């Protein structure tokens, strides 16, 4: 099968959906023909679809999302790009109070098919305002879906599902994943929300990981395999809705669980998944739940500082060894 990069897979999803459905349009800062998006995801799309449908905006995150909401409730399918995930904070009212609640508080009268694409993640030395992993913020808001694709295949298929769906989606990308290549078929497909993917099968322990951490978990699993430990890697692919069953089934099989997440440990993605396992699958566990996550600090700038806080393969291996 052909291999393409994560950013190309995202671009293909946008292109295919824009060709298929004239109500799909893009808006965001510098996504058009002069720049093509800070991470080049939308490069070339303004040339094909024009500046009306690939719309450069002022630096106004709150209005970017608010405009997306207004367009979504009046028949359009906007895909908004927020240049860095950290900047969703500027649009939080529009995301959490408007997009997420507009259907519910109006008694189901309206749909809000708004996709918000944004890159999270640390590892490129751009410090505290451009490196966070804030997926858990959005998991805490009913009415939002949260997608966390780790591969080009999932990125393309999930983005297409997000655009075709009828709910607001926080589509979390990871800035280290944009150049990462993977197999993506030529023919069209979608990946459904709420269906986890077992990225690697194993017997002795389960690792649940998302986004870039999936790749670190797979590396760790390879290393552990050489030491005789068979690890299963489960990638939820969407955090809301969360495929609890696949996670629990894996725990039933292995009896051991390590949750790896790039966000802060406190009240984060790993905390939620740990709570679900504790509540619904504790009887299957042969060892305590382990979490590998960032310490509760902002992301620092200097390379040794930054590397210290990002969960790495070593930490994952250590955690698995503690439970097997």
Partner 1 sequence: MLNLAKEKLTEMFRKMLEIRFFEEKVFDLYAQNLVPGTIHLYTGEEAVAVGVCAALEKTDYVTSTHRGHGHCIAKGADLKRTMAEILGKRTGYCKGKGGSMHIADFSIGMLGATAVVGAGMPIAVGAGLSIKLRKTRQVVACFFGEGASNQGTFHEGINMASIWRLPVIFICENNLYAMGTHQSRVMNIENIADRALAYGIPGVIADGNDVLAVYEKALQAVERARKGEGPTLIECKTYRHKGHSRVDPAKYRPKAEVEEWLAKDPIKRFKEKLLQEGVLIQVEVQKIEREVAAEIEEAVKYAMESPYPAPEEALEDVYA
Confirm if 287 and 254 have CB atoms less than 8 A apart.
Answer: no
Considering only the stretches 61-69, 154-162, 250-258, 281-289, report the one whose residues sit in contact with partner 1 under the rule CB under 8 A.
61-69
Active site residue 174: no
Q: Are residues 318 and 290 in contact, defined by beta-carbon separation less than 8 angstroms?
A: no
Residue among 16, 70, 89, 180 that touches partner 1 (CB under 8 A)? 70
Write down the least CB distance from residue 50 to partner 1, Å: 11
Q: Which is nearer to partner 1, 29 or 294 (CB)?
A: 29
By CB under 8 A, tell whether 183 contacts partner 1.
no
Q: Which of 5, 67, 82, 176 binds partner 1 (CB under 8 A)?
A: 67
Stretch that binds partner 1, among 70-78, 242-250, 265-273, 279-287 (CB under 8 A): 70-78
Of 129, 130, 140, 174, the active-site residue reads 130
Q: What angle do CA 299, 303, 308 make, to 5 degrees?
A: 60
Q: For residues 235 and 201, is the Cβ–Cβ distance under 8 A?
A: no
Of residues 186, 174, 173, 178, the one with CA closest to residue 3:
186
Q: In this structure, are residues 15 and 42 in contact, taking their beta carbons and an 8 Å threshold?
A: no
Find the helix or strand (DSSP H, E) in which 209 lies: strand 205-209
- Among residues 65 and 217, whose Cβ is nearest to partner 1? 65
Give every CB contact of residue 93 below 8 A, 6+ residues apart in sequence.
62
Which three-class secondary structure state does DSSP give residue 88? helix
* Residue 34 contacts partner 1 per CB under 8 A: no
Q: Which is nearer to partner 1, 87 or 198 (CB)?
A: 87
Catalytic residue list: 130
Q: Which residues bind partner 1 (CB under 8 A)?
A: 23, 25, 52-53, 57-58, 60, 62-63, 65-76, 78, 93-94, 97-98, 102-113, 142-143, 145, 165-167
């Amino acid at each position: 099968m052909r291999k393409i990069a994560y950013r190309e897979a995202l671009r293909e999803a946008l292109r295919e959906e824009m060709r298929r459905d004239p109500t799909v349009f893009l808006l965001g800062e510098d996504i058009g023909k002069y720049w093509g998006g800070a991470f080049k995801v939308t490069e070339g799309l303004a040339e094909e679809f024009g500046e009306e449908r690939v719309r450069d905006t002022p630096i106004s995150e709150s209005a970017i999302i608010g405009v997306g909401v207004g367009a979504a409730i009046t028949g359009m399918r906007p895909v908004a790009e927020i240049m860095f995930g950290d900047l969703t904070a500027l649009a939080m009212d529009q995301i959490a109070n408007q997009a997420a609640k507009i259907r519910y508080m109006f008694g189901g009268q309206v749909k809000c098919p708004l996709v918000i694409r944004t890159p999270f993640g640390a590892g490129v030395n751009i410090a505290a305002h451009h490196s966070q992993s804030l997926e858990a913020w959005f998991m805490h808001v009913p009415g939002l879906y949260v997608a966390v694709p780790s591969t080009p295949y999932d990125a393309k298929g999930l983005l297409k599902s997000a655009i075709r769906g009828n709910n607001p989606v926080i589509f979390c990308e990871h800035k280290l994943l944009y150049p990462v290549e993977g197999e993506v078929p030529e023919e069209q497909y979608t990946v459904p929300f709420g269906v986890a993917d077992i990225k690697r099968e194993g017997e002795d322990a389960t690792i649940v990981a998302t986004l870039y951490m999936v790749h670190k978990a797979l590396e760790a699993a390879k290393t552990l395999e050489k030491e005789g430990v068979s690890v299963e890697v489960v990638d939820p692919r969407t955090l809301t809705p969360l495929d609890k069953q696949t996670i629990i089934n894996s725990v039933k099989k292995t009896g051991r669980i390590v949750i790896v997440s790039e966000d802060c440990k406190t009240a984060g993605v790993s905390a939620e998944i740990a709570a679900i396992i504790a509540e619904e699958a504790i009887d299957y566990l042969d060892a305590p739940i382990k979490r590998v996550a960032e310490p509760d600090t902002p992301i620092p700038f200097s390379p040794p500082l930054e590397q210290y806080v990002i969960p790495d393969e070593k930490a994952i291996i250590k955690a698995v060894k503690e439970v097997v």
